[in-house]
Amino acid sequence: MAGNSFGNIFRITTWGESHGKALGVVADGVPAGLALCEEDIQSFLDRRKPGQSDISTPRKEADQVEILSGVFEGKTTGTSLSMLVRNTSQQSRDYSQIADCYRPGHADYTYDEKYSFRDYRGGGRSSGRETIGRVAGGAIASKILKEMGIDVYAYTTAIGPVRIDPANFDKAAILRNPTAMPDNAANERALACLKTARENSDSMGGVMECIVTGLPVGVGDPVFEKLDANLAKAVMSIGAVKAVEVGDGVHVSESLGSENNDAFFADETGVHKATNHSGGTLGGLSDGAPVVIRAYVKPTPSIFQMQHTVNRDGENTEITIKGRHDPIIVPRAVVVMEAMTAMTVLDALLLNMTARLDRIVEFYRD
């Protein structure tokens, strides 16, 4: 119930503030026998680490992960797995400005109203650094999915008005381009846009997409635990996401049924869909086609322009934010979306093992 846990059978609980001692996560329900070391986690964390390009905050954090439990002789034990990342670059600076007044687009006001006070240093718990725990958990889920032949990957499809061209799709470019776009040309144009935005003390939004391939048919549960419903929650829970869509998404509202339905056909390899308007789910269960999910991300709320706001005493005032902030959230959020998707899919796969009596009986007969 408390808000810092995600998942049912595979479940993470995250903790930590932007400028506290450390951040971390406890992953519970990790199946026993997975080969796992810190490098498996680190390679995911490095994708969201700050200070790696011109479009990322210059804050320098090693974000070095330490596994504290749940792994023995290189394998997961099946018990709770704790991971920790120490904060090392908390600048000792003057927080009186944001301690006293509410930054537009941030959670300062709402946290103060809910809890009566807040850790104002760098956003405290509402900071993007909160996602370290998500990514560390997602790294485990992704590794398990790989063992099952399931691939999850996310990338940027748009930054402001710049969109990738599917004809240029280059999966390898995702990890190489600072924008996380799988299209080199779009990457260049987006970087130019971001340079302008930054020169204007402004910030930009964008779109990211995540694909799941290799998923068996029938994963997800009817009614409230539909796979797409859980993916929507998972992705909408990422700080700046304001819209989530599956498959054709918003466009279905202007389609006709005859256009939107995906015809089935069979060949020697089995049943397939001729198109994938549905984005890989039917009735909330995976339908064998790739799962396609998209998230629309707002511009970084920390901009370096003067903004009107109020202070803790409820008086009108102005604020001009200083400090180290990304001009765009998307490129570093891509791995967060991938992590949330991987954990959601894994959890649904685990639950799905209990759907049929014959398979349960067979499982225990072995």
Taking CB under 8 A as the criterion, the residue among 252, 276, 290, 323 binding a copy of itself is 252
Question: Cβ closer to a copy of itself: 172 or 215?
Answer: 215
Question: Cβ closer to a copy of itself: 42 or 230?
Answer: 230
Closest Cα to residue 194, out of 54, 294, 323, 57? 54
Q: Report d(CA 122, CA 356) in Å as an integer.
A: 49
Residues 81-110 that bind a copy of itself (CB under 8 A): 81-82, 84, 102, 104-107, 109-110
Q: Which DSSP letter does residue 147 get?
A: H
Site string for a copy of itself, 31-50 (x = CB under 8 A): xxxx----------------
Q: Report d(CA 242, CA 240) in Å as an integer.
A: 6
H or E stretch including 243? strand 241-246
Question: Cβ closer to a copy of itself: 145 or 172?
Answer: 145
Taking CB under 8 A as the criterion, the residue among 61, 63, 130, 338 binding a copy of itself is 130
Q: Report d(CA 357, CA 204) in Å as an integer.
A: 51
Least distance from a copy of itself to the Cβ atom of residue 110, Å: 4
H or E stretch including 184? helix 184-199
Residues 196-225 that bind a copy of itself (CB under 8 A): 197, 200, 202-207, 216-219, 221-225
Count the Cβ atoms, other than its own, within 10 Å of residue 147: 11
Least distance from a copy of itself to the Cβ atom of residue 220, Å: 8
Angle at 94 between CA 90 and CA 97, to 5 degrees: 120
Instruction: Choose one: 57-65, 89-97, 174-182, 195-203; the region binding a copy of itself (CB under 8 A).
Output: 195-203
Residues 257-286 that bind a copy of itself (CB under 8 A): 257-266, 270-271, 274, 278-279, 281-286
Number of chain positions touching a copy of itself (CB under 8 A): 164
Scored b (16 or more CB within 10 A) or e, 79-98 reads eebbbbbbbeeeeeeeeebb
Residues 55-74 that bind a copy of itself (CB under 8 A): 66, 68-70, 72-73
Least distance from a copy of itself to the Cβ atom of residue 359, Å: 7
Least distance from a copy of itself to the Cβ atom of residue 175, Å: 22
Q: Report d(CA 182, CA 175) in Å as an integer.
A: 8
Report CA 240 to chain centroid distance, whole Å: 10
Q: Which DSSP letter does residue 204 get?
A: B
Q: Using an 8 Å Cβ cutoff, are 141 and 41 in contact?
A: no
Residues 139-178 that bind a copy of itself (CB under 8 A): 144, 147-148, 158, 160-161
Residues 283-322 that bind a copy of itself (CB under 8 A): 283-287, 296-303, 305, 307-310, 314-316
Least distance from a copy of itself to the Cβ atom of residue 91, Å: 17
Q: Using an 8 Å Cβ cutoff, are 286 and 86 in contact?
A: no
Taking CB under 8 A as the criterion, the residue among 51, 75, 170, 276 binding a copy of itself is 75
